[in-house]
């Protein structure tokens, strides 16, 4: 197995691929809207703290297990557990991860479909000369039309599955190499533009001056869940990528580079979006529609607005594409590990995710008032519980596995940071990340 598995072409390709997984709707759509709902700077502060204290060390743990195992997540974990003389049941963690990304990809694909719709609309100049109220009403009408949502959801999922079916080096690597640098350039332009608007000052104080009294266990749980979500950690998805990591590359350095790039994108997107919110006197707590309503409103009034807006949605679509490819990977790798061909595994994943995604599609019309669990409709449920509960739980178990269970020598080698680097990382995981995750999860659930 070791010899036959494909590897990422270069170290840079690995970092670009993991960044491609990390940067997506989480940074550009989810981060602004839940930050808006949770009071701004406090949420941002917690989220950055959780990225550093838990997300980063756990990201290393997850990639490390894949790198040491060089197999599909389930097989890597099972193999390393057997090597350490531990229970083979650890491998079910891989299946739990696949279930988590199954739920996440189902709504991810639906929301990514919204940006296809908005890309086409902005190229057509549909937003030109429209007021905020008109654009908001247009968005609501779009959500209430299951046929348009279904069309875009289907299109996006087909785009994803085609790349996944094409295989690792051919599909993912080339795509990432091509697209990621473009994404950063476009975001910088966008944030630079925001700095020239009168909403820029208020946006900065909203994002960076925390009111510490607003910290509650629930806000902490959401910020923690978002740290996992945005780094793509906790569902064995990065583990699947770790299996393809080149032999000579420091894992901590690669992971830190990804985390910096990821947080930077969220901040740039946040600055751009909240500048618009404050310049237009809008409500930061608008919800999932925040980005989709604010940006067209702002750009509609600008010289060259439709062009900037089209670029923005193009960028968003590219970012979500590379993320959804990563979301599909653990499921495909698991089915492949069970003997299915890559093409067949991809098709099976595509069809089942499409089906579950239809419940999210209908959550904006027919099923809007259908409370499935905890008073939430299907979309609210899959976009809340898997990111906020399943990911921290999965990350926690992966961390315990990496720090306590798997053979120490294997972990040391796969981290590739020397004995001192290894001891520091493991101590951080054992005495900070794992207990902190337990406390936040426990407090949040109660
Ligand atoms: N991190 C991505 C985003 O921010 C979403 C994502 C990609 C993800 N792969 C993942 C989330 C794996 C959890 C697990 O949009």
pLDDT digits (tens, 9 = 90+) for 141-171: 999 999 999 999 999 999 999 988 987 555 5
Q: How many angstroms is it from 21 CA to the middle of ligand 1?
A: 6
Residue 112, classed as helix, strand or coil, is: helix
Question: Which of the four pLDDT bands, split at 50, 70 and 90, describes residue 350?
Answer: very high
Summary mean pLDDT of the chain: 90
Q: Cβ contacts of residue 220 below 8 Å, gap of 6+?
A: 46, 440, 443, 444
Count how many residues are written for the chain. 446
Instruction: Give the per-residue pLDDT at 128.
Output: 83
Q: Which residue CA neighbors atom 14 of ligand 1 most closely?
A: 232
pTM of the model as a whole: 0.93
Bridge partners, 376 (sequence order): 373
Q: How many angstroms is it from 234 CA to the middle of ligand 1?
A: 10
Of 238, 292, 235, 283, nearest to 110 by C-alpha is: 292
Question: Which of the four pLDDT bands, split at 50, 70 and 90, describes residue 191?
Answer: confident
Question: Which of the four pLDDT bands, split at 50, 70 and 90, describes residue 1?
Answer: very low
Question: Is the Cβ atom of 232 under 6 angstroms away from ligand 1?
Answer: yes
Residue 192 scores a pLDDT above 90: no
The percentage of residues in the chain with a pLDDT greater than 90, rounded to a whole number, is: 64
Residue 5 scores a pLDDT above 60: no
Q: How many angstroms is it from 232 CA to the middle of ligand 1?
A: 4
Q: How many angstroms is it from 79 CA to the middle of ligand 1?
A: 26
Instruction: Give the per-residue pLDDT at 4.
Output: 43
Cα separation, 237 vs 63, in Å, equals 9
Question: Is the Cβ atom of 300 under 6 angstroms away from ligand 1?
Answer: no
Q: What are phi and psi of 228, to 5 degrees?
A: -65, -45
Residue 43, classed as helix, strand or coil, is: helix
Instruction: Give the per-residue pLDDT at 2.
Output: 41
Residue 286 scores a pLDDT above 60: yes
Of 414, 422, 429, nearest to 65 by C-alpha is: 414
> Are the C-beta atoms of 178 and 19 separated by less than 8 Å?
no
Q: Which residue CA neighbors atom 13 of ligand 1 most closely?
A: 232
Question: Is the Cβ atom of 103 under 6 angstroms away from ligand 1?
Answer: no
Q: Which residue CA neighbors atom 6 of ligand 1 most closely?
A: 232
pLDDT tens for each residue of 21-65: 999 999 999 999 999 999 899 999 999 999 999 999 999 999 999
Q: Which tops the pLDDT comparison, 427 or 291?
A: 427
> Are the C-beta atoms of 291 and 273 separated by less than 8 Å?
yes
């Amino acid at each position: 197995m070791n010899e036959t598995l494909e590897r990422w072409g270069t170290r840079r390709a690995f970092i670009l691929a993991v960044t491609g997984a990390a940067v997506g709707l989480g940074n550009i759509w989810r981060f602004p809207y839940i930050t808006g709902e949770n009071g701004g700077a406090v949420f941002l502060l917690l989220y950055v703290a959780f990225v550093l204290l838990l997300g980063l060390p756990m990201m290393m743990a997850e990639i490390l297990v894949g790198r040491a195992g060089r197999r599909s997540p389930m097989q890597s974990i099972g193999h390393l557990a057997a090597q350490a003389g531990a229970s083979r049941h650890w491998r079910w963690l891989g299946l739990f991860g696949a279930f988590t990304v199954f739920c996440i990809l189902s709504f991810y694909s639906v929301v990514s479909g919204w940006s296809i719709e908005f890309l086409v609309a902005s190229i057509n100049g549909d937003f030109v000369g429209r007021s905020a109220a008109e654009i908001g009403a247009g968005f609501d009408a779009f959500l209430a039309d299951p046929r348009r949502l279904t069309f875009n959801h289907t299109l996006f999922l087909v785009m994803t599955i085609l790349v996944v079916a094409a295989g690792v080096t051919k599909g993912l690597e080339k795509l990432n190499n091509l697209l990621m640098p473009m994404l950063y350039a476009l975001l910088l332009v966008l944030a630079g533009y925001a700095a020239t608007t009168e909403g820029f000052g208020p946006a900065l104080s909203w994002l960076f001056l925390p009111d510490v009294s607003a910290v509650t266990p629930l806000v902490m749980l959401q910020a923690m869940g978002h740290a996992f979500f945005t780094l793509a950690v906790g569902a064995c998805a990065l583990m699947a990528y770790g299996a393809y990591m080149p032999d000579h590359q420091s894992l901590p350095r690669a992971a830190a580079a990804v985390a910096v790039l990821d947080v930077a994108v969220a901040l740039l997107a946040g600055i751009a979006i909240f500048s618009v919110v404050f310049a237009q006197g809008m409500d930061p707590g608008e919800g999932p529609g925040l980005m989709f309503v604010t940006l067209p409103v702002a750009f509609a009034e600008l010289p060259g607005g439709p062009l900037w807006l089209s670029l923005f949605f193009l960028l968003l679509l590219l970012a979500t594409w590379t993320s959804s490819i990563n979301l599909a990977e653990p499921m495909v790798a698991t089915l492949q590990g069970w003997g299915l061909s890559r093409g067949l595994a991809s098709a099976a994943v595509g069809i089942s995710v499409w089906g579950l995604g239809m419940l999210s599609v209908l959550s904006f019309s027919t099923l809007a008032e259908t409370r499935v669990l905890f008073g939430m409709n299907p979309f609210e449920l899959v976009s809340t519980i898997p990111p906020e509960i399943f990911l921290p739980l999965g990350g926690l178990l992966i961390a315990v596995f990496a720090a306590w269970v798997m053979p120490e020598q294997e972990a040391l080698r796969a981290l590739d940071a020397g004995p001192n680097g290894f001891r520091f990382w493991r101590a951080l995981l054992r005495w900070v990340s794992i207990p902190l995750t337990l406390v936040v999860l426990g407090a949040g659930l109660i």
